[in-house]
Amino acid sequence: MDKKQADELIAEMRSIKKLLILQLLRNEVSQKQIASMLDISEATMSRMMPRAAGKTKKIPDVVS
């Protein structure tokens, strides 16, 4: 695997992680719980969360 393929794979994995986070938030899982599940800090979790998701009660269904 060359560097370009590795970079593309990493970018795709980050996108998948963000979709997972959105789905968990939609299912009313707390940021603290999500951070624990993903083995990341709460600060990292907050940075990964889309800003709009924190400002609204309704999070769109991104994963079916």
DSSP 3-17: HHHHHHHHHHHHHHH
Predicted confidence band at 62 (pLDDT cuts at 50, 70, 90)? low
- Residue 22 belongs to what domain range? 3-53
Closest among 51, 53, 30 to 42, alpha carbons compared:
30
Q: Which of 2-6, 18-22, 49-53, 55-59 has the lowest mean pLDDT?
A: 55-59
Question: Looking at the domain assignment, is residue 10 inside a domain?
Answer: yes
Question: Looking at the domain assignment, is residue 62 inside a domain?
Answer: no
Predicted confidence band at 61 (pLDDT cuts at 50, 70, 90)? low
Task: Reduce the DSSP state of residue 57 to 3 states and report it.
Answer: coil
- Tally of structural domains, the chain: 1
Q: What pLDDT score was predicted for residue 8?
A: 96
Question: Looking at the domain assignment, is residue 64 inside a domain?
Answer: no
Distance CA 9, CA 14 (A): 9
Question: Looking at the domain assignment, is residue 27 inside a domain?
Answer: yes
Question: Looking at the domain assignment, is residue 61 inside a domain?
Answer: no
Q: Which of 3-7, 40-44, 59-63 has the lowest mean pLDDT?
A: 59-63
Is the pLDDT score of 3 beyond 80? yes
Closest among 47, 10, 52, 12 to 31, alpha carbons compared:
47
Output the pTM of the full model: 0.65
